[in-house]
Amino acid sequence: MPNVLSSNIPDIVIGRLPIYLRALTRLAQEGRDVTSSHELGQRLGISSAQIRKDLSHFGGFGKQGTGYQIAYLIEQLKQVLKVDQEWEVALVGVGDLGRAVAHYRGFAERGFRIVAAFDTDSSKVGKSIDGVAVQSTDTLDTFIREHKIKIAMIAVPAESAQAVADLLIEAGVRAILNYAPINLNVPDNVHVQYIDPVTHLQRMTYYL
């Protein structure tokens, strides 16, 4: 019944899988072998039915009466999300924000390796950030094509973000993590995710 190939799986479901994966990894770190949709739901503030239904899109990962083997479920989810491999990522913009992004250990730890950094500021080009040489944006297209890089992070000012995105997409990038506080217009086959801490704060002040 579950159909892994055709992309009829709701986006919202895909969005929860990384959360499940993160919680499962934590459980594994705590030395646990088995869990249940109920326990996972409690930890995440999500109903157990939703977790079961989400997982059921991809196959029967659990055992009735027992629950889910944590290591196995992690492995399966990584496969579904295609994070059972290392991804090479490009970073554009090495100002304050870009440098902070480059220094963040969490990317490498979880399979995303920053292999290139670009900036238009010639005073930054040639320097090294966390072992990655900063290149001129002029070389962006060539580098990304040659290395077949599919994922990029944008950490430039809002004014330049759309132009950078256009460059990246032209060079073959298909997934963009945008730290600039602006919406990007991209073709349907390109995915964008946004990180803007202020919008998160503004979402909470409503309730205060």
Partner DNA sequence: AACTGTGAAGTTTTTCACAGCC
Partner DNA sequence: GGCTGTGAAAAACTTCACAGTT
Cβ of residue 172: shortest distance to a second copy, in angstroms?
11
Instruction: Name the residue nearer to DNA (CB basis): 56 or 139.
Output: 56
Taking the C-alpha atoms of residue 136 and residue 130, their distance in angstroms, rounded to an integer, is 17
Q: Is 68 in the site for a second copy (CB under 8 A)?
A: no
Q: 59, 3 in Cβ contact below 8 A?
A: no
Considering the rule CB under 7 A, would residue 69 count as an interface residue with DNA? Answer: no
The radius of gyration of the chain's CA atoms, rounded to the nearest angstrom, is: 20
How far does CA 187 lie from the centroid of its chain? 19
Q: How far apart are CA 153 and CA 89, in angstroms?
A: 7
Q: Which of 10, 15, 59, 126 binds a second copy (CB under 8 A)?
A: 15
Q: CB-based burial of residue 87 (10 Å sphere; 0-12 exposed, 13-18 middle, 19+ buried)?
A: middle
Helices (H), the chain: 11-29, 37-44, 48-56, 70-81, 96-103, 106-109, 140-146, 158-171, 197-205
Q: How many residues bind a second copy (CB under 8 A)?
A: 58
- Going by their DSSP bridges, the two strands 87-92 and 191-194 should be labelled as unpaired
- For residues 69 and 136, which CB has a smaller minimum distance to DNA in the complex? 69
When asked if residue 115 is in the footprint of a second copy (CB under 8 A), the reply is no
CB of 188 to DNA, least distance (A): 14
The residue ranges that bind a second copy (CB under 8 A) are: 7, 14-15, 17-19, 21-23, 26, 43-45, 80-83, 87, 89, 96-97, 100-101, 103-107, 110, 112, 150-151, 153, 158, 174-175, 177, 181-183, 185, 191, 193-208
The residues that touch DNA, with contacts defined as CB under 7 A, are: 1-2, 10-13, 36-38, 46-50, 52-53, 55-56, 60-68
